[in-house]
Homo-oligomer: A and B are copies of this chain.
Amino acid sequence: MVPPELEEGLPLERIRGFSLEELLGMAIKAEIGAREFYKSLTEKVEIQELKEKIGWLADEEKKHEELLRRIYGTMFPGKDVVFPKEHIGPELKPVARELHGVQDIIDLIRWAMKAEEIAAKFYAELENMVDTEDKKRLMRYLSDMEWGHYYNLKAEYELLLDWEMYSQMMHVGP
């Protein structure tokens, strides 16, 4: 089941149907969405270790948004960012509901992993579409960073599946 915080977007192959300007706009929108998702999640999660990790991800996405805006600024000087209504891959939205138990957290982390994975592949595709070595390098940077997030989330996900051990090993609880 797809949770309400996630909207399944277009498949990655659809990337070719958009201009670079639109794709950068989508990327900026996705970073903002991911940040708001992680930020809202830190407020719902009570496990200190996980709260800190998710807070770190929120800060990272903020930096990526700023970096993408600078890239956009150099590629389309003086233009406002165009935000297409479509998006490639899952789009994360803020968590408004109360979370009940660890299973809710596990489900959300699984979707965040999916979003990070698609984001990593999205930037790798953009690398092929931009024209200069420096722009390609920036896309590789963003792709690698998203892979970093993906593996960080995957690690937590794996351990959360065995809650008893997680709480024991992470010194969670009273």
Contacts and interface: CB of A to CB of B under 8 A. Distances in A.
Interface of A: 56, 67, 70-71, 133-134, 137-138, 140-142, 144-145, 147-152, 154-156, 158-159, 161-162, 165, 169-170
Nearest to A143: B155
Contact of A152 (B145, B161, B165, B169): B145
This chain's copy number in the assembly: 2
B162 A134 contact: yes
Given A56-B56, A151-B151, A144 B169 contact: no
B151 A148 contact: yes
15 contacts: A56-B56, A67-B170, A70-B169, A71-B169, A137-B158, A137-B165, A140-B158, A141-B155, A141-B158, A144-B152, A144-B154, A147-B147, A147-B151, A148-B155, A151-B151
